[in-house]
C-alpha cells in the first residue's frame, strides 16, 4: 500500500513539474523571480523531450509500482500519460522534436514579453 501511495506521489510531482515546465513562463510574468526556477526546469524539460530521454522520475515511479504489485509502463511519462490522447498512433522522433521546439518557442515569446515589460518600467 505504501509503495502505491509513493508511486502516486511521484506521478503527481512529475505532472506538477511538467505543468511548471510548460506554463512556468506565464507564472514569471506574474512574479518575475520565478524565472530563476523556471528557466533551468525549461532547459531540462526541453532537452529531455528533444533528446528522447526518459526523466529519472519515470523509472522511480515504475519501480514503486512494481513493489506495490502493479504494472509498470514502457517509455516516458509524457508518452504514457499525455500523448496517447493527443497522438494515438504513437510518439515519433519528429513529434518529440516538434514538441521541444514548441515548448521553447512558446516560452521564448513569454520571456520576450517579460523583458519588454521590464524595459518599460
What's the pLDDT score for residue 99? 82
Distance of alpha carbon 71 from alpha carbon 65, whole angstroms: 6
Supply the DSSP string of 94-121, one letter for each residue.
HHHHHHHHHHHHHHHHHHHHHHHHHHH-
Task: Give yes or no for residue 74 having a pLDDT over 60.
Answer: yes
Distance of alpha carbon 108 from alpha carbon 4, whole angstroms: 38
Query: pLDDT tens for residues 28-40?
Result: 988 989 999 999 9
- Which residue has better confidence, 79 or 102? 102
Which residue's C-alpha cell is 509503495? 3
What cell does 39 get?
528557466
Domain that holds residue 94: 2-120
What's the pLDDT score for residue 118? 78
Domain count, the chain: 1
Give the Cβ contact number of residue 38 at 10 Å. Answer: 22
Sign of CA pseudo-dihedral 15, 107, 111, 29: negative
Sign of CA pseudo-dihedral 82, 87, 90, 95: negative
Q: Spell out the alpha helix ranges (H) of 31-92.
A: 35-51, 57-67, 77, 84-86
Confidence band, pLDDT 50/70/90 cuts, at residue 97: confident
What integer best gives the mean pLDDT of the chain? 85
% of residues, the chain, pLDDT over 70: 85
Amino acid at each position: 500500500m505504501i509503495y502505491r501511495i509513493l508511486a502516486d506521489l511521484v506521478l503527481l510531482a512529475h505532472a506538477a513539474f511538467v505543468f511548471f515546465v510548460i506554463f512556468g513562463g506565464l507564472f514569471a510574468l506574474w512574479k518575475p523571480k520565478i524565472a530563476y526556477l523556471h528557466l533551468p526546469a525549461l532547459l531540462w524539460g526541453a532537452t529531455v523531450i528533444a533528446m528522447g530521454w526518459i526523466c529519472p522520475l519515470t523509472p522511480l515511479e515504475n519501480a514503486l509500482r512494481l513493489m506495490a504489485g502493479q504494472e509498470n509502463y514502457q517509455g516516458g511519462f509524457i508518452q504514457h500519460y499525455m500523448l496517447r490522447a493527443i497522438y494515438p498512433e504513437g510518439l515519433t522522433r519528429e513529434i518529440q522534436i516538434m514538441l521541444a521546439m514548441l515548448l521553447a518557442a512558446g516560452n521564448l515569446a513569454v520571456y520576450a514579453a517579460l523583458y519588454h515589460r521590464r524595459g518599460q518600467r
